[in-house]
Structure 1
Amino acid sequence: MNLIYHLALIVCCCIGIFQLAWADADLSPKSVIVVTSNQRPVSNINSISKKLDDVKLIIQILNLDAVTNIEHRLSHGLPVDPVQARAMVDQRIAQIGRSQLDAELRTAYLPLGTMMAYALNRYPVIIFDRQAVIYGVTDLAQAINKYRQWVEDKQGGTANE
């Protein structure tokens, strides 16, 4: 009888732990889009990725300075003479590759398009599961904790961290 009691207790504990882990996963976002700039880099990306290894979390970092970075890379140190400057820019584009540069430019304009699509008016901003937004936070761990608290409050449950 004692063995059956212990087995039942172990099974109940395991189910409880599983339910806590499952509830924790339900509070975690599935996707995160961060729109920021060079002056406001995002921190704790790797620690979040490791912490949420069992949860499939897609993190996309969009830098509003990406277009400026490309422009700087193409125009840095150009001569004053417009003909020579044009030749040097053409040479740099050839080194990068036209299709590669086009792809980089499409990616570089994505942050601005995202800001417009979500009607966002300031940054840094973190978008969770395309439904919740947190402004002004660049620490991803802190932002995810705030998001989880919001989900918990919305569901009326408790967050298990």
Structure 2
Amino acid sequence: MSGQALNYWVTKQLAYQEKHRQDDLRCLRMEQEKIYEQQQLMEKELELKRLIIEHQELTPPSTPKNSADTTNPASCLPLAKSPRLPCFEDKTDHIDSYLLRFERYATINGWPRKDCAIHLAALLKGKTLEVYTRLDKEDAQKYDICRDALLRRYNLTQDGF
């Protein structure tokens, strides 16, 4: 090769290398964005766990352990520190059924309504956790508002619930 043919070949090679360099940069940026999103989600989950622990430390038990109210079956059960329910699975669970099960569990355990939001938050992940974390601080502590936001996310209403 000589002259114009060589010049043409070199130009093509440089263009080819530049295209691959741009593709590599694009892939790196996408990986960085994915890592950043994962980091943000982990930070939100960590903050949520910190809030749950803080709430548990600051919230006194609803009834003393030594006094049993025999008229209320829930008071005969041990007080649960955190829910022993499986986390909500977006792909397999229906939010309305899950919330109904959660509310029944909360009733059986004698949880005050004001504590239900924080217990529910401990069971959320994925899209449902995103819905919860988008609520402002006051609304995130109110179970009814959390429940309604989750139902809206899945295009359900309180009436359909």
* Structure-2-length-normalised TM-score: 0.31
Q: Larger radius of gyration, structure 1 or 2?
A: 2
Which structure carries more helix by proportion?
A: 2
Which structure carries more strand by proportion?
A: 1
